[in-house]
Amino acid sequence: MNIGHHCERGILTLCFDRPEKKNALTTAMYAALSQHLAAAEADPAVRVVVLTGAGGNFTAGNDLRDFLGGAFSEPGAPVWQFINTFAGFTKPIVAAVGGLAIGIGVTILLHCDLVYLADDARLSTPFVQLGLVPEFGSSALLPRLAGHARSFEKLVLGRPITPAEAVAMGIANAVVPVERLAAQAAEAAAALAALPAGAVRESRRLLRVGRGVPIVEVMRRETEVFAARLATAEAREAINALLEKRAPDFSRLG
């Protein structure tokens, strides 16, 4: 299902593995991710999760043809199940990000505990350019980290986020040479796995209590608007234009 997985010494590695499409996420991949996370949550042998991508990229975001097929707007769709499962996961998550990280490839990092970027990482959140809105709690989480002005620049204007900016904004812990990325994430995961698991989980929970409005409520609001936006002419024009490799034309839409 395009999700690689293996578990060793208490560390479960989940890998977006669709390199021919720059690891763009499909409904089947979301379903598989949810299943792996649910199993990891229930398995005391799993102490840490590492999230990464194959073929030199993290993920190019959601598969746009799935968008147009309506798979993302249906109630209970795998993408929304995954978002809730990931946000509610109680064990530490380490992300190793190289190459492209677009859309949910960035917003997912706001729910991880340690994030390491390769020096070739290219982050962007082009939601508004697609006629959509930010998702995965990013409309609340990013402003808390980086402030309104910088978050507006990235989430609304869709300006790229350099690796150094991501660290400065609080999205990531460090930038490392691309050849060191896997080792850096593995070392951090091993250090976490060696700690008392109960103390790690409780500390993680306490660190998240201070976020203010429960993030599940933020995500519910975002999901309602996001689903409504998918049905608009603006979103259809933006997504079709991207698939057809042409500039979008919003002038006829009022």
pLDDT value of residue 75: 62
Most confident of 13-17, 219-223, 227-231: 13-17
Q: Kindly state the helix (H) or strand (E) to which residue 45 belongs, with its residue range.
A: none
**H helices present in the chain, as ranges:** 27-42, 64-68, 78-87, 104-107, 138-146, 148-155, 163-168, 181-193, 197-209, 215-230, 233-243
Distance of CA 21 to the CA centre of its chain: 17
- φ and ψ at residue 48, rounded to 5 degrees: -145, 150
Q: How many Cβ atoms from other residues are within 10 Å of residue 191's Cβ?
A: 12
Domains of the chain: 3-177 (3.90.226.10)
First-last CA distance in the chain: 41
pLDDT in tens, 122-141: 999 999 998 889 998 899 89
Taking the complete model, does pTM exceed 0.85, yes or no?
yes
Q: How does strand 174-176 pair with strand 114-118? A: parallel
- Look at the block and give the residue holding tokens 């201070």: 210
pLDDT value of residue 151: 96
> What is the Cα–Cα distance from 143 to 219, expressed in whole angstroms?
15
Mean pLDDT, to the nearest integer, of 44-63?
95
pLDDT in tens, 173-211: 999 999 999 999 999 999 999 998 989 999 998 888 766
Mean pLDDT, to the nearest integer, of 228-237?
80
Name the average pLDDT for the chain: 90
Longest dimension (CA), the chain: 60
Residue type, 203: S
Residue type, 175: V
Tokens in use for 234? 């603006």
Three-state DSSP class for residue 165: helix
Share of the chain above pLDDT 70, in %: 95
pLDDT in tens, 79-116: 888 988 998 899 999 999 999 999 999 999 999 999 99
Distance of CA 24 to the CA centre of its chain: 11
> What is the Cα–Cα distance from 192 to 190, expressed in whole angstroms?
5
Q: Are 101 and 58 in contact (CB under 8 A)?
A: yes
